[in-house]
Amino acid sequence: MKVKVRLFGTLGKKFPDHDPLDGFEIEIPENANVGDLLDRLEIPKSKIGPVSVEGHLVKAAKILQPGDFIRIYRPIFGG
Amino acid sequence: MKFLKLDMATAAVSITDVPQEYAGLGGRGLTSLMINTEIPAKCDPLGPENKLIIAPGYLSGTALVNSSRLSIGAKSPLTGGIKESNVGGTVAADLAHLGITAIIVEGQASAGACFVLKIDADGNGELLDGSAYKGLRTYELVKKLNEAFGEKNSITCIGPAGEFLLTAASIQTTDADGRPCRAAGRGGLGAVMGSKGLKAVIVAKGGKAADAITDPDVFKESAKIYAKAVKDDAGTEDLAEYGSAGLVAPINAVGAFPTRNARQGQFEEVDKITGETMAEIIKKRGGKNVHMGCAQCIIRCSNEYVDKDGSYVTSSLEYETIWSMGGMLGNSDLDSIAKLDFLCDDIGLDTISTGVAIAVAMDAGYKAFGDAQAAIEMVEEVAKGTEFGKIIGNGPGAVGEHFNHDRVPVIKNQSIAAYDPRAIQGMAVTYATTPMGGDHTAGWVVAENLEEFGGTLDRFSAEGQVEASRNSQIHMAAVDTVGICDFAQSGFGAGLANVCKMIAAKSGKPFSEADWTALGTRILKAEREFNRNAGFTEKDDRLPKMFYEEPLPPHNKVVVISDEEMDRTFDF
């Protein structure tokens, strides 16, 4: 199934077809969850901050639906 | 190691040795201990008994990266309590290169008098007639001072807001490009500088009289290890690309981005004002991302925002300002946010207090949320010195009083910053208890509060929040003393012991990790003591009732830290 993913901060840099303001569409297996998606993107967990699906914060076990818009944020640091 | 003392009543400048009791201190440790010892707590903050103390960090001017942080301290006219306002730029390194531990501004010039302080390349200071510079905004002031004194100086100055003695007035200082765009914003210290009759401090660059390092080899090695840890940290690249503005999207995502005077925790138009959007706009228009703002910076979190024609608008557009002039006002127009940032720097205003003051005015119905033009006009009124401009320039508390409106997000009369305490309970503790008034840098416990993403605390629960805030506040008091940039704290990844080694290598005296904690604790105790003597009680360590009573969407939580828990924060 296809989902839309937007990677924030420098997370999107390694994906040439990722638009920094709009993200990209990717294909993942049916019933995949957020953890599966993060594995598929091969982004180390230490580089990932909050993740939301359709604007709601989720944990790794959240099952994804076709067409979901997933936002993956960088870890929170600063001040 | 010397103090440069200014007696504003006689325009005399004297140089004295640093007394033993202040040895080994710099930055906030020095300003706060001196304020508590030497300033009568009940004095008029805009009167002759108050002192303005300008001190580089203890490690400023050394080979350590990201150490050009300046502490400016005084009794605050905004809070009525002790204040340390921290700023980057180049002046801390420049003062330290001249061997100046602090500039202490005492007394008061006669009414209407205006001076500038010129410190030459030998570290000698002279108070000069500054009447030609009266009333100038900071960019024009810096231009004129450069014409008169040359460009090889850092300039620390006030704008019209400071001269009008307004309590949201900042002290601005020049960045690595010589623009007065770095602000010691909080606490109204621009008004203290204005009350002294001091318009600007001009400090020669390239001094050769920095304090000797007792053990230079050990220092160099530790500084190298520190720099490597900063360089290698995962966050450094993000900070360079997006600056602090990279926080807009994630803080909004977790529902902690106070919106429309903190009526919501998420801004539905946030995509227009994220750090990512800002960086794209800057890139497209030919501005600068990954820009160096401060001396010895290897992170380069600054930026240069330009308009559609590629002309300079402001530097550096930061998270807190995008919040205060954006989300807090329901304003998603980044160009107007950048313009408001520039105006605040130019007029000499704290962007946080000013944005929140406008937000309170909009909340009270004076203008509609989202009306960016109205916000610009309100800030311009400050510079004109109109009656309403004075109210805005005195911060959100004054605006609330004017409109008889009680949704005013201030603690000790200073506004909160861009983290809603209802969505991050640890920030409720910091805002309420720090001796500085509502202040995010005093004890930033945001990362620790994101349990679902690696933090150890439940951000909606009171559990562990007091301890987290206390520990962070102690640590930050020490960080602000040595003068390390908050964003370069990744260097502590190489261990606190490595930082302690540098302190010991400079002073020649042992300095352990326990000494670090003792230093932070000593500073907080002094600050608390000053505030108690000024009349503060535990009732001042509370948030306004909106945070206890109004659930914040989307999580619909309120602050759950009890008064008893707040009072436990400083149980030492």
Q: Which domains does chain B have, with CATH numbers?
A: 2-204 (3.60.9.10)
Mean pLDDT of A39-66: 91
Q: Which region among A57-61, B239-243, B295-299, B302-306 has the lowest average model confidence (pLDDT)?
A: A57-61
B339: its two tokens: 């313009």
Q: In a 10 Å sphere around its CB, with 0-12 CB exposed, 13-18 middle and 19+ buried, how is residue B147 labelled? A: exposed
Predicted pLDDT at A40: 94
Compute the distance between CA of residue A6 and CA of residue A72 in angstroms, rounded to an integer.
6
Compute the distance between CA of residue B321 and CA of residue B217 in angstroms, rounded to an integer.
41
Predicted pLDDT at B447: 85
How many C-alpha atoms does A54 have within 13 Å on its Cβ side?
8
Predicted pLDDT at A79: 53
Predicted pLDDT at B27: 98
Mean pLDDT of B488-515: 97
Q: Which domains does chain A have, with CATH numbers?
A: 2-72 (3.10.20.30)
Do B72 and B28 form a contact (C-beta atoms < 8 A)?
Answer: no
A74: its two tokens: 């960088």
What is the average pLDDT value for chain B, to the nearest integer? 97
Q: CB–CB of B447 and A73 under 8 A?
A: no
Predicted pLDDT at B452: 53
CA B471 to chain centre: 20
B68: its two tokens: 């050009």
Q: Which region among A49-53, B355-359, B510-514 has the lowest average model confidence (pLDDT)?
A: A49-53
Q: Count of CB contacts below 8 A, A vs B? A: 83
CA distance A48 to chain B (A): 8
B-chain residues near A77 (CB < 8 A) = 235, 238-239, 447, 490
User: How far is CA B72 from each of CA A73, B1, B14, B29, B359, rounded to the nearest angstrom?
Assistant: 35, 18, 19, 11, 27
CA distance B316 to chain A (A): 15
Instruction: Answer yes or no: is pLDDT of B451 > 70.
Output: no
Q: Would you say the ipTM is above 0.90?
A: yes
What SS3 state is found at B174?
coil
Q: What are phi and psi of B176, to 5 degrees?
A: -65, -20
Q: In a 10 Å sphere around its CB, with 0-12 CB exposed, 13-18 middle and 19+ buried, how is residue B47 labelled? A: middle
CA distance A54 to chain B (A): 11
Predicted pLDDT at A78: 61
Neighbours of B221 (CB within 10 A): 15
CA end-to-end span of chain A: 39
Mean pLDDT of B41-53: 98
Q: Enumerate residues 6+ apart whose C-beta is below 8 A from A28.
A: A1, A2, A3, A36, A37, A40, A64
- Reported as a pLDDT band with limits 50, 70 and 90, residue B455 is confident
Q: Enumerate residues 6+ apart whose C-beta is below 8 A from B394.
A: B166, B167, B168, B357
Predicted pLDDT at B358: 99
- Reported as a pLDDT band with limits 50, 70 and 90, residue B454 is low
> Per-residue DSSP letters for B200-216?
EEEEES----PPPPSSH
Instruction: Answer yes or no: is pLDDT of B453 > 80.
Output: no
Chain B residues 483-542 with CB within 8 Å of chain A: 486-487, 490
Predicted pLDDT at B405: 98
A-chain residues near B279 (CB < 8 A) = 20
B297: its two tokens: 């910076």
Do B479 and B489 form a contact (C-beta atoms < 8 A)?
Answer: yes
User: Is 0.90 topped by the overall pTM?
Assistant: yes
Q: Can you give the length of chain B in residues?
A: 572
A-chain residues near B247 (CB < 8 A) = 76, 78
Mean pLDDT of B82-111: 98
Mean pLDDT of B297-311: 98
Mutate to test the interface with A, among B86, B186, B238 (most CBs of A within 10 A): B238
Q: In a 10 Å sphere around its CB, with 0-12 CB exposed, 13-18 middle and 19+ buried, how is residue B554 labelled? A: middle
Q: CB–CB of A78 and B454 under 8 A?
A: no
